[in-house]
Amino acid sequence: MKVKQISEHIWSLQTWVLIPITVWVVVDQKGVTLVDAGIPGMAKGILTFIDKLDCGPLQHIVLTHGHSDHVGAIKRILEHDPVPVYANAKEMPYMEGDLPYPRRKKAQASVAKGLANPLSEDEQGRFEKISGLTPYFAPGHSPGHVVYYHEEDKVLLSGDLFTSKNGKLRRPMAMFTGDMAEAVRSAAIVDRLKPARLEVCHGQSVFHPTDQLSDYLKTNQSET
Ligand SMILES: [Zn+2]
């Protein structure tokens, strides 16, 4: 597993199984937040890294969405550190197997029922900040997909909202994307937040993604 510090508070931990699979470790005064949980084989490496980092205990796991390559290590991590797991309430019925993800035939649970808690929202329905990260709803790849913005570091952890190639924004993987047109529309979050750096789960970092946004939309909107 390749570990890289990407900003003052954030590290990326990446493994390869045909494609890169990335999770992020974010630190604040209280300890460590894990963003996404990769595949089962990453559990040991994640726990060892958090231990070695020595920035406090794991506080919670937050998920961009519930696909199996984003939740795989949760079970083993919780056996070691029983911490809360959070995801968007809209993603719950799909990840818990009550509904099939769009364009999939069968409902299939990727996590046990009741394992994840809904991210907290204020009275206007905006997500509340969690350990320096603000969640934003960015659906399309999955119905309850969220991205996490670290405002202080100006880093957007975008999960599967995009992939990337040679530093360029690319569409999420079509095969696993429920509604591509909606995913492309959700890219507008980049213009709203103007991150200095954008991270994707299945690819490498994208710097100054706002500069690429109009090209991204131009190339992709017509094809969806
Ligand atoms: Zn996915």
pLDDT at 41 exceeding the cut of 70: yes
Q: How far is the CA of 131 from the centre of ligand 1 (A)?
A: 23
Give the amino acid at 151. Answer: E
Q: How far is the CA of 181 from the centre of ligand 1 (A)?
A: 15
The pair phi, psi for residue 216, each rounded to 5°, is: -60, -45
Pairwise CA distance, residues 90 & 40, whole Å: 24
Could you tell me the two tokens for 135?
């969640």
Give the residue-averaged pLDDT of 133-156.
Answer: 98
Q: How far is the CA of 163 from the centre of ligand 1 (A)?
A: 10
Give the residue-averaged pLDDT of 60-84.
Answer: 97
- pLDDT given for residue 223 in this prediction: 53
CATH says 2-221 is which class?
A: alpha beta
SS3 content of the chain, % helix, strand, coil (to 5): 25, 30, 45
pLDDT at 213 exceeding the cut of 80: yes
Q: How far is the CA of 68 from the centre of ligand 1 (A)?
A: 8
Q: How far is the CA of 54 from the centre of ligand 1 (A)?
A: 30
Domain ranges of the chain: 2-221
Pairwise CA distance, residues 101 & 117, whole Å: 19
Q: How far is the CA of 29 from the centre of ligand 1 (A)?
A: 30
Confidence bin at 137 (pLDDT 50/70/90): very high
pLDDT at 224 exceeding the cut of 80: no
pLDDT at 134 exceeding the cut of 80: yes
Contacts of 98 (CB under 8 A, 6+ apart): 92, 107
- pLDDT given for residue 221 in this prediction: 72
Q: How far is the CA of 115 from the centre of ligand 1 (A)?
A: 19
Q: How far is the CA of 170 from the centre of ligand 1 (A)?
A: 14
Pairwise CA distance, residues 221 & 184, whole Å: 7
pLDDT at 222 exceeding the cut of 80: no
